[in-house]
Amino acid sequence: MFNDLSSPAALMATRRSGKPRDLGAPGPTPAQLDRILNAAIRVPDHGKLAPWRFVVVPEDRRDAFAALLDRAYRAERPDPGKVELEAIRQFAHQAPALIVALSAPAHASHIPIWEQELSAGAACMNLLIATHAEGLAGGWVTGWAAYSDMVRDAFGQPGERIAGFLFLGTSIREMEERPRPDRDAVIRVWNP
């Protein structure tokens, strides 16, 4: 349908989520990552609060990230199985690039928290679209670690929440189109 990815419509129509375990090298170069993050923060932001933050976890710190996840998991589940611990280690080492997205609402602001959380989600989506524009793939996941206070405290502070872990790289498998909702079920014209 779209052959020219330089058009915004083509980018939107062809963006796919990559499974983090299926994202390999090459990842974004430092210049690409800068462009991706710059695009991520250009989102609607009622009150100009910037109610989101991004923390880049470099590849040379993935072992420390895995150790953090291991400690947090054991704190919640004192007797984990070998398969669970291996899954945690693999999670920490997926894809060449990892960015932790935080929803960081300004609780004292008159801007509703819901609007601030929507802005954080928009920032994550912009990050994924910018990743696709750079010729790479990205996967946005949560899971138990996104809801762990211990993990959150390593990246943010109380009152903030992990919006997700964004893994970036090159898809090493064919990316499949996932089922999309029936347009008539989700789009309508208002008729009072």
Domain annotation covers residue 2:
no
Domain annotation covers residue 75:
no
In the chain, the amino acid numbered 152 is R
Domain annotation covers residue 145:
yes
The domain containing residue 143 runs over which residues? 16-59+95-173
What's the CATH number where 105 sits? 3.40.109.10
pLDDT per residue, tens digit, the chain (192 aa), is: 334 566 788 878 888 899 999 999 999 999 999 999 999 999 999 999 999 999 999 999 999 999 999 999 999 998 999 999 999 999 999 999 999 999 999 999 999 999 999 999 999 999 999 999 999 999 999 999 999 999 999 999 999 999 999 999 999 988 888 888 999 999 999 999
Instruction: Count other Cβ atoms within 10 Å, centred on residue 38.
Output: 11
For Cα atoms 91, 97, 100, give the angle at the middle one, nearest 5 degrees. 70
Domain annotation covers residue 126:
yes
Query: How does pLDDT run across 1-48, given as a tens digit for each residue?
Result: 334 566 788 878 888 899 999 999 999 999 999 999 999 999 999 999
Q: What does the pLDDT read at residue 15?
A: 87
Domain annotation covers residue 186:
no
For Cα atoms 154, 117, 152, give the angle at the middle one, nearest 5 degrees. 10
Q: What does the pLDDT read at residue 9?
A: 84
Name the domain count of the chain: 1
Domain annotation covers residue 86:
no
Do the Cβ atoms of 96 and 26 come closer than 8 Å? yes
